[in-house]
Amino acid sequence: MARTFDAVVVGAGIVGASLAYHLAERGVRVAVLEAAPAPATGATAKSAGGIRLQFSNPRNAELSAESLELLKAFPETFGVDAGYRPRGYLFLHPASTWSSWSKAMRRLRALGYPVELLSLEEARKLVEFDPKGLVAASYGPEDGVFDPPTVALAYLKAARDEGAFLFTESPLLKARFSGGIWRIVTPKETFEAPLWVNAAGAWSARVAERAGYRLPVAPYRRSIYLTAPAGARPGPLVVDAGTGVYFRPEGPRYLFGASRPDQPPGFFEGVDGEWFEEVARRMAVRFPWFSSLGLDLKGAWWGYYAETPDKNAILGPVPGLEGAWVATGFSGHGAQHAPAVGRRLADWMLEGKAAGLSAFSLARFARGRRVSEAGIV
């Protein structure tokens, strides 16, 4: 006997959790299927926890802004502190990236976003760095950090309170559509629903294949490194667009990293120790004080970005497959967009309104369209 639901969400990361809650809250009977023994253990547990309004594409900025409001409201809505702290984000730019970035930031300012354009002298009051090769900076005082696993678990609990079911150790093995109903097979049980959503992050192309369609999403390993305790005090997340490195305080330590440009796609396991040397070298060049800190490679961790050809999310229905939806491919900014995306996608699924998400449709790739985003994604 198959279990029947109104909708099945595949993947219990922060995206699937937010969507499950926003569907359940509207009275939809939802099943969430998670391959792992526990929810929120994929990329959601591995992120740097950053949230920023500073995106060059106003659509991305808008998703962050809406998510920020939802995160701020977490204590009243769910009785849970989402961990949001407005520590700020500081972007340092060389001339090659500053002209387009500053234009985009001015546009955000005109739309009312809290973004400041800073001279290098002003930026150096926030953090000490070697200005060689840089021309200016931007700062978002309301950008900051939050706690993605806490948010995902709060959404799942609230979804269950609204009648949703979570099935762990239940990977989607196969999905087939017939007579207006999707049959989703897992090792333990089979589920039936007219709607289902692929929210399996870095694994979403595999899930798509098992359901008979193709998704241009690939996993890319990303490592986050730590210094030894260094007396760090709360401060902004700093991104150096010149060298690609970023860092922020994490308790008394600093966490730091950079996307490796020659990283091949695939589920490579373990911290990237080779890239660590290069990132630490770049950090010391831009932030000379960094070279006196001890490093703690043992504390490092890794996770997978789910990357699309334009490094922006894929959201919405799967063309030609009635009832099949996707919410995946967020690269390095899915945790912060999940609250708004879950809410808007639930609206789209139930009311047929794309609610500002249509630019992220899967169909864009077939039409030769791309979502552009100049910020490090």
Ligand X SMILES: Cc1cc2nc3c(=O)[nH]c(=O)nc-3n(C[C@H](O)[C@H](O)[C@H](O)COP(=O)(O)OP(=O)(O)OC[C@H]3O[C@@H](n4cnc5c(N)ncnc54)[C@H](O)[C@@H]3O)c2cc1C
Residues in contact with ligand X by CB under 6 A are 10-16, 33-36, 41-44, 46-50, 148, 171-172, 199-203, 207, 222, 224, 303-305, 328, 330, 332-336
Residue 45 Cβ vs ligand X, minimum distance, rounded to whole Å: 7
Pick 50 or 317: Cβ nearer ligand X: 50
Residue 332 Cβ vs ligand X, minimum distance, rounded to whole Å: 5
Residue 179 Cβ vs ligand X, minimum distance, rounded to whole Å: 23
Pick 11 or 317: Cβ nearer ligand X: 11
Residue 16 Cβ vs ligand X, minimum distance, rounded to whole Å: 5
Residue 95 Cβ vs ligand X, minimum distance, rounded to whole Å: 26
DSSP class of residue 358 equals: G
CB atoms within 10 A of CB 38: 12
Pick 136 or 139: Cβ nearer ligand X: 139
Pick 136 or 166: Cβ nearer ligand X: 166
DSSP class of residue 359 equals: G
Pick 136 or 321: Cβ nearer ligand X: 321
Residue 11 Cβ vs ligand X, minimum distance, rounded to whole Å: 3
Contact 224, 46 (CB under 8 A): yes
Task: Look up residue 339 and give its amino acid.
Answer: P
Pick 27 or 251: Cβ nearer ligand X: 251
Instruction: Tell which residue, 144, 122, 143, has the closest CA to residue 134.
Output: 122
- The CA-atom distances, in angstroms, between 253 and each of 230, 235, 275, 291 are 5, 11, 20, 14
Per the structure block, which two tokens stand in for 183?
Answer: 């049959």
Task: Look up residue 355 and give its amino acid.
Answer: A
Element (H, E) at 102: helix 95-110
Residue 46 Cβ vs ligand X, minimum distance, rounded to whole Å: 4
What residues pair up with 174 in beta bridges, in sequence order? Answer: 185
Pick 12 or 92: Cβ nearer ligand X: 12
State the DSSP string of 285-336: HH-GGGGGS-B-GGG-EEEEEEE-TTSS-EEEEPTT-TTEEEEE--TT-HHH
